[in-house]
Amino acid sequence: MNTLKQGDVVPNFTAKDDQGNIISLSDYKGKKLIVFFYPKASTPGCTVEACNLRDNYKELQAQGYELLGVSADSEKRQTNFKNKYEFPFPLLADEDKSVINTFGVWGPKKFMGREYDGIHRMTFLINEKGVIDRVIEKVKTKDHANQILA
């Protein structure tokens, strides 16, 4: 896994969001951006994490942040996830894993003794110049907004 690190410039990326809109990193030029990667929409940990960010969205915005959630789920699955939990931020349907690979969050994982390749739950805080200020590798799903704001 060749994961982007603090100080790296994020290469431009483009993907469809839950509404079918084309979203690019360049859309956020001059803004602070949080890009959070999660394994699968509507699963327990991912739901807790995204709901925590939703519940603290106003505070994150007050700190100048925009948010983008990313998983390899289909547009339809992302739409259902967003609508069910009323997320105020876009969810990218990165089915071809182009954004996931840009950030380097796809790789070997272990779960219940099984090894497989998948998305690592990680969050990247990107500054107004498109440079990574911070990477959160050990995401606390129930307290993620506080990790970001700390």
Residues labelled as active-site residues: 46
Radius of gyration of the chain (CA): 14
Task: Note whether 5 and 132 are within 8 A (CB).
Answer: yes
Task: Note whether 136 and 6 are within 8 A (CB).
Answer: no
Torsion of CA 130, 13, 138, 51, to 10 degrees: 100
What's the CA gap between 66 and 32, in Å, rounded? 6
What's the CA gap between 27 and 113, in Å, rounded? 41
Task: Note whether 17 and 94 are within 8 A (CB).
Answer: no
